[in-house]
Amino acid sequence: MNKPGDGMGRETAVERLPFQVRIATRAELEDVVRLRSTAYGRHLPEMGQRLAQPEAADFELGCEVFVAVSKLDGSLLGTLRTHANALEPLPLEASLALPERFANHRLVEATRLSIQAGTTASLVRNALFKAFYQYCVSQHIDWMVLTGRRPIDRIYDGLLFTDVGETGAYHPMAHIGGVPHRVMSLSVSEADAIWSKAQHPLYEFTVKTWHPDIDLSGARDLSSAWSGEHATRSSSSVARRMQALLPLQFKAA
């Protein structure tokens, strides 16, 4: 995925980044959880404390932890984790039933986005988003899915994601401390045409430029994990696991 034409196939320019984006090693998870804890702790102190340790999903098949690592000093600049519905429902499905149009489709949810504050923060976020898109292309995913709280959801509006249901509706998310988030999606196969038609400012960066420093060759191939079971499986098992994470004010009386 780190060569021209590999995963994208339409690159017309080459650009080097001041950091590398790749799959995290186990040794890097200590830095990952430290950044997550700090980033989430700014707005959700209890959630920040919860994220001070690696989560089970950091190791599970169907999930990948992406990291952006500085070339200068090896410091962690950003991270996100992907969840494919190959073996389990998406984390957000513990809180919201997706519309029928998503049934029998391959979905990947981006979670735990955390960026180190600094001059490269926006570039790191854009590179992680590009890696998310490239990952979905390479794994033959149908829909990219994510959740956004205010005002982060405006970033996803800007990327031309749309709400899976009612426009602008917020839903408490069990896997994010019960905080209301919009649930948004973008078709992987249509993303190129959507961004191109809109003359999106990130189209050249995301689709038309090869970034050798984005290398997801360490990602696990999910082709053997997909089966018809994941599309019809009830999310009740995830809901039971996640219910305990909801703050009392969001739990059913």
SS3 201: coil
Which of residues 169 and 234 earns the better pLDDT score?
Answer: 169
**Cβ neighbourhood burial of 197 (10 Å; 0-12, 13-18, 19+):** exposed
How far CA 37 is from CA of 69, 114, 119, 121, in Å, comes to 17, 9, 21, 17
Per-residue pLDDT tens digits for 89-127: 999 999 999 999 999 999 999 999 999 999 999 999 999
Mean pLDDT score, 231-252? 40
Comparing 136 with 229, which gets the higher pLDDT? 136
The confidence score (pLDDT) of residue 245 equals 41
Average pLDDT over residues 53-63: 96
Dihedral angle of Cα 82, 87, 90, 95, to the nearest 10 degrees? -150
DSSP 107: E
Angle between helices 188-197 and 121-138 (to 10 degrees): 130
State pLDDT tens for residues 136-165.
Answer: 999 999 999 999 999 999 999 999 999 999
Does the pTM surpass 0.75? The reply is yes
* Average pLDDT of the segment spanning 44-50: 92
Spell out the domain ranges in the chain.
13-216
Which residue did the predictor score with more confidence, 8 or 99? 99
Give the architecture (CATH level 2) of 13-216.
3-Layer(aba) Sandwich (3.40)
